[in-house]
Chain A
Amino acid sequence: MPGTYIPTDYFPVLVILLIASAIGLGALVAGILVRPRRPYAQKLTPYESGNPPIGEPRSQFSVKFYIIAMLFVVFDVEAVFMYPWAVAYDKLGIFGFVEMMLFMFILLIGYIYVWKKGAFNWE
């Protein structure tokens, strides 16, 4: 039951969590307590000695990045199937090999398709 069980195995994790937060927070708090605070307009600009910022800070990405990212995600995640296959390879034998080759072949068709459609052309 949730009420009675105490996860003692995870106690070190809790300790690390507490120490880590204590160090991080402690540094910030110490800084606030120790440092002098004298703000003026020039000092509050994002770049104290640089140019004043122009326009929106967030700029638009080119749509090309998204297309490459989408292709990356799709082809990358397929590797998920290769890990268990590789681990169990010696037990799967020739059957597993053929199966994986079929899978790769289908991916290859997708790759040819994407290539011919020109999705990899940057310009």
Chain B
Amino acid sequence: MDLPITITLMDIRAIVPELTLICVGLIIMLLDLVVKKKDLVALAGIAGTVLALFGTYKLYGVTDTQFVFSNMFVLDGYANFFKVIFYINLILTICISIKYMEIEKSSFGEYYALLLFATSGMMIMASAADLIVLYLGLELMALSTYILTGLMRKQPRSNEAAIKYFFLGAFSSAFLLYGISLTYGMTGTTNIKEIAFAISTLGIADNPIMYLGLIFMIVAFSFKVALAPFHMWAPDVYEGAPTSITAFMSVGPKAAGFAVMGRILMGAFGDMQAQWVTVLIPLAVLTMATGSIIALSQTNIKRMLAYSSIAHAGYILLGIIAGTPEGLTASVNYLMIYTFMNIGAFAIVIMLRSKGFQGENLDDYKGLAKSHPVAAALMLIFMFSLAGIPPTAGFIGKFYVFMELIGSGYTPLAIIAIIFSAISAFFYLRIVVYMYMKDAEQEIVLTQSPTMNIALAVTSVMVLVLGIFPSFLLYFVRYSIMGY
């Protein structure tokens, strides 16, 4: 028997960004054994990410879709755009975590290596053209994130968050695998393109087992992106994890989950759109409701932002429900904007953490505008953006998603989303009120570092620029998804 394995240079070229990140991650692991100053390790991580970003930039010219490694891995604008989101997420996370991890006395070199591994897992997910590759990417991401969540070994909170995340995450991947196995059994292939082909030629779109497999996969992804009613882990994990990791995983795994959802639902299960839309609509409504309403009663800012990120997952899902390439464009656009505003907000939360002071209660924000006007102003921008108030980027993101939703004929759903969006403005603005209209109960010391300032500058400028000139990003997204 002749084995059809041929790997050309083109195949290797396509995975250069992933390879770079993994190699740099391995180097960091070894570097950590000899280097005492962890800032150096962090800088190596940033340098590696920039290298990988450059690799993706070089591949960006390839707009036509390319399948490499025997159709297992796909290189297209869609994947590349998601990779850019992951790079931004990674660089910003490293920037905001250098000082913070020192304060938490958890400044390990492995931290940066694991961040890189998790990001390469997300990139593999975004580029997966086969369910096997998808599973491997997902596990690479998930396993790294489990460890990152529990990295503060001495703190029971962090341990507990890791346990909860690990168990529910592993539970959800079992569901994913069962879904994969049913789909494989019905279609006879694990390749996404071939699944779509098999569904249309065999005419099994109405098959109940197919439907079951689809639902199992949707459940698994709902766990990963924290859609209600599969969101129970999110608030606990977000609160217990190191804040920088909370920022990282409120963006990265979520974006990766949506990347995969977009590819699987629209790519593999395109013929079953009627089926998955009926599943996703209740999920979206429930998610927006839970996120917006439960957040109102939170007193811990990390928990509040966790519910806020659940609500945002609901809005992003709306673009996928619209079921058109434009809807997907709106979702991806939203994800990019969400990356900046969410990490920005978490950066401020991290600044409030200083030696011997947790700074996670909403009360700690009282009177912040008087003592630290700049930080308060930045928080104001991020809160406005998360709430979706113009002229910030958050408004633009929501606007396009709702427009596409109405364009696809889901007007009632759009109205529901707008109502929940208005409800959610309430708790975002409460922080603003606390900062500007209440008196401080105690002296707040902000922890500053050069990298933190850079991260804050980048996120706030991007939130404002994308809010005022939205067409640039949208053009960029459209150009990327064009081939999809």
Determine whether the beta carbon of A95 is less than 8 Å from that of B30: no
> Which positions 91-123 of chain A face chain B at CB distance < 8 Å?
91-92, 95, 106, 109, 112-113, 116-117
B9 interfacial by beta-carbon distance below 8 Å: no
A120 smallest CB distance to B (angstroms): 14
A71 interfacial by beta-carbon distance below 8 Å: no
Which residues from B are CB-within-8-Å of A109? 26, 29-30
A20 smallest CB distance to B (angstroms): 33
Which residues from B are CB-within-8-Å of A112? 30, 33
Given A106-B26, A109-B26: A95 and B33 interface contact (C-beta under 8 Å): no
> Which positions 1-28 of chain B face chain A at CB distance < 8 Å?
1-3, 5, 7, 26
Q: How far is the CA of A51 from the CA of B376 in the complex (A)?
A: 72
Q: How far is the CA of A112 from the CA of B31 in the complex (A)?
A: 12
Determine whether the beta carbon of A95 is less than 8 Å from that of B7: yes
Which residues from B are CB-within-8-Å of A91? 1-3
Q: Which of B5, B26, B30, B33 contacts A92 (CB 8 A)?
A: B5
Determine whether the beta carbon of B3 is less than 8 Å from that of A92: yes
Which residues from A are CB-within-8-Å of B5? 92, 95
A25 interfacial by beta-carbon distance below 8 Å: no
A88 interfacial by beta-carbon distance below 8 Å: yes
Q: Please, which residue of chain B has its CB at the minimum distance from the CB of A112?
A: B30
Q: Please, which residue of chain B has its CB at the minimum distance from the CB of A116?
A: B33
Which residues from B are CB-within-8-Å of A117? 33
Which residues from A are CB-within-8-Å of B1? 91
Q: How far is the CA of A102 from the CA of B26 in the complex (A)?
A: 13
Q: How far is the CA of A109 from the CA of B27 in the complex (A)?
A: 9
Q: How far is the CA of A95 from the CA of B5 in the complex (A)?
A: 9
Q: How far is the CA of A106 from the CA of B7 in the complex (A)?
A: 20
A79 smallest CB distance to B (angstroms): 18
Which residues from B are CB-within-8-Å of A113? 29-30, 33
Which residues from A are CB-within-8-Å of B7? 95
Q: Please, which residue of chain B has its CB at the minimum distance from the CB of A99?
A: B7
Which residues from B are CB-within-8-Å of A116? 33
B19 smallest CB distance to A (angstroms): 10
> Which positions 24-72 of chain A face chain B at CB distance < 8 Å?
none
A71 smallest CB distance to B (angstroms): 15
Which residues from B are CB-within-8-Å of A95? 5, 7
Which residues from A are CB-within-8-Å of B29? 109, 113
Which residues from A are CB-within-8-Å of B26? 106, 109
Q: How far is the CA of A95 from the CA of B7 in the complex (A)?
A: 9
Q: How far is the CA of A92 from the CA of B29 in the complex (A)?
A: 31
Q: Please, which residue of chain B has its CB at the minimum distance from the CB of A115?
A: B33
Q: Please, which residue of chain A has its CB at the minimum distance from the CB of B26?
A: A109
Which residues from A are CB-within-8-Å of B33? 112-113, 116-117
Q: Please, which residue of chain A has its CB at the minimum distance from the CB of B27?
A: A109
Determine whether the beta carbon of B30 is less than 8 Å from that of A88: no
A-contact 0/1 string along B26-40, CB 8 Å cutoff: 100110010000000
Q: How far is the CA of A109 from the CA of B7 in the complex (A)?
A: 25
Q: How far is the CA of A117 from the CA of B29 in the complex (A)?
A: 11
> Which positions 29-79 of chain B face chain A at CB distance < 8 Å?
29-30, 33
Which residues from A are CB-within-8-Å of B2? 91
Which residues from A are CB-within-8-Å of B30? 109, 112-113
B373 smallest CB distance to A (angstroms): 46
A-contact 0/1 string along B434-448, CB 8 Å cutoff: 000000000000000
Q: How far is the CA of A95 from the CA of B3 in the complex (A)?
A: 12
Q: Please, which residue of chain B has its CB at the minimum distance from the CB of A109?
A: B26
Q: How far is the CA of A118 from the CA of B3 in the complex (A)?
A: 43
A78 smallest CB distance to B (angstroms): 14
A74 smallest CB distance to B (angstroms): 11
Q: How far is the CA of A88 from the CA of B26 in the complex (A)?
A: 29
A75 smallest CB distance to B (angstroms): 16
Q: Please, which residue of chain A has its CB at the minimum distance from the CB of B22?
A: A106
Q: How far is the CA of A118 from the CA of B234 in the complex (A)?
A: 34
B26 smallest CB distance to A (angstroms): 5
Q: How far is the CA of A106 from the CA of B29 in the complex (A)?
A: 11
A-contact 0/1 string along B329-373, CB 8 Å cutoff: 000000000000000000000000000000000000000000000
Q: How far is the CA of A109 from the CA of B33 in the complex (A)?
A: 12
Q: How far is the CA of A95 from the CA of B4 in the complex (A)?
A: 12
Q: Please, which residue of chain B has its CB at the minimum distance from the CB of A98?
A: B7
Please name 12 further chain A to chain B contacts, defined as beta carbons within 8 Å, in addition to the given A95-B5, A106-B26, A113-B29, sorted by A numbering.
A88-B3, A91-B1, A91-B2, A92-B3, A92-B5, A95-B7, A109-B26, A109-B29, A109-B30, A113-B33, A116-B33, A117-B33
Which 6 pairs, one residue from A and one from B, show the smallest C-beta to C-beta distance? A116-B33, A91-B3, A109-B26, A113-B29, A109-B30, A95-B5
**Could you tell me which B residues sit within 8 Å of A by CB distance?**
1-3, 5, 7, 26, 29-30, 33
A selection of 12 A-B contacts at a CB cut-off of 8 Å is A88-B3, A91-B2, A91-B3, A92-B3, A95-B7, A109-B26, A109-B30, A112-B30, A113-B30, A113-B33, A116-B33, A117-B33
